[in-house]
């Protein structure tokens, strides 16, 4: 009887220890690419790319770049699974009235790809970021 109690206790202990063992959560894309410093580098590179591109810079002529930098960092952080809160406006609201066409949209995506490349993201990582942003495309085009 005592042995049975001991055995049950042992089994219960093993069960509890197994349950308490930290389960390995899958790493977010945010963590995989290097977290905040990488998100900031992508944003900085993106702003640079925009400033050197006459076609796209035209859209940003009146933009407060300090605000854009802050909101774009938050947005990219959230969309890669990072621990941030996006405090900017909706994609529809921000891009409304700009009448962005597909050519300029694709050109902007090219600039973002250059920015990610320069920040050291691999090709598959770049694609994962773009995949997160793709559904927002319809909120930006021809508005
Ligand atoms: C790749 C997809 C895009 C994403 C994820 C994106 C994201 C953002 C974000 C987060 C902001 C700041 C929002 C805020 O201030 O509250 C912003 C602002 C802006 N975006 Fe985009 N954007 C994208 C594509 C584009 C494209 C294609 C254009 C034009 C060719 C564009 C032009 C602008 C401009 C001009 C602003 C500043 C608006 C202002 O001055 O108030 N964006 N965008």
pLDDT digits (tens, 9 = 90+) for 92-142: 999 999 999 999 999 999 999 999 999 999 999 999 999 999 999 999 999
Q: How many domains are contained in the chain? A: 1
Residue 75 annotated as part of some ligand binding site: no
The protein residue whose alpha carbon is closest to atom 21 in ligand 1 is: 95
In a domain, 124, yes or no: yes
Is 21 within a domain? Answer: no
Closest ligand 1 atom, residue 62 Cα:
40
Query: pTM for the full model?
Result: 0.87
19 falls within a domain: no
Which residues are registered as beta bridge partners of 100? 141
Instruction: Pick the range with the lowest mean pLDDT from 21-30, 35-44, 83-92.
Output: 21-30
Question: Which range marks the domain in which residue 40 is found?
Answer: 28-139
Residue 79 domain-assigned (yes or no) = yes
User: What is the distance between the alpha carbons of residues 59 and 108, in angstroms, rounded to a whole number?
Assistant: 11
The atom of ligand 1 lying closest to the CA of 72 is: 10
| Domain membership flag for residue 67 | yes
Range list of β-strands (E), the chain = none
Residue 104 · residue 110 · CB < 8 Å = no
Is 80 in contact with 29 (CB distance < 8 Å)? yes
Best of 60, 73, 94 to mutate for ligand 1, by most ligand atoms within 8 A of CB? 94
CATH value at residue 107: 1.10.490.10
């Amino acid at each position: 009887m005592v042995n049975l109690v001991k055995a049950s206790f042992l089994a219960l202990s093993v069960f509890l220890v197994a349950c308490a063992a930290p389960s390995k959560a899958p790493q977010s894309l945010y963590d995989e690419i290097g977290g905040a410093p990488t998100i900031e580098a992508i944003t900085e590179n993106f702003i640079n790319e925009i400033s050197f591109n006459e076609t796209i810079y035209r859209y940003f002529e009146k933009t407060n770049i300090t605000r854009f930098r802050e909101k774009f960092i938050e947005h990219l952080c959230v969309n890669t699974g990072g621990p941030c809160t996006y405090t900017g406006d909706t994609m529809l609201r921000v891009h409304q009235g700009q009448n962005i066409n597909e050519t300029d949209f694709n050109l902007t995506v090219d600039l973002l790809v250059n920015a990610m490349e320069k920040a050291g993201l691999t090709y598959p990582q770049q694609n994962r970021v773009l995949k997160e942003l793709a559904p927002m495309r319809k909120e930006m085009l021809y508005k």
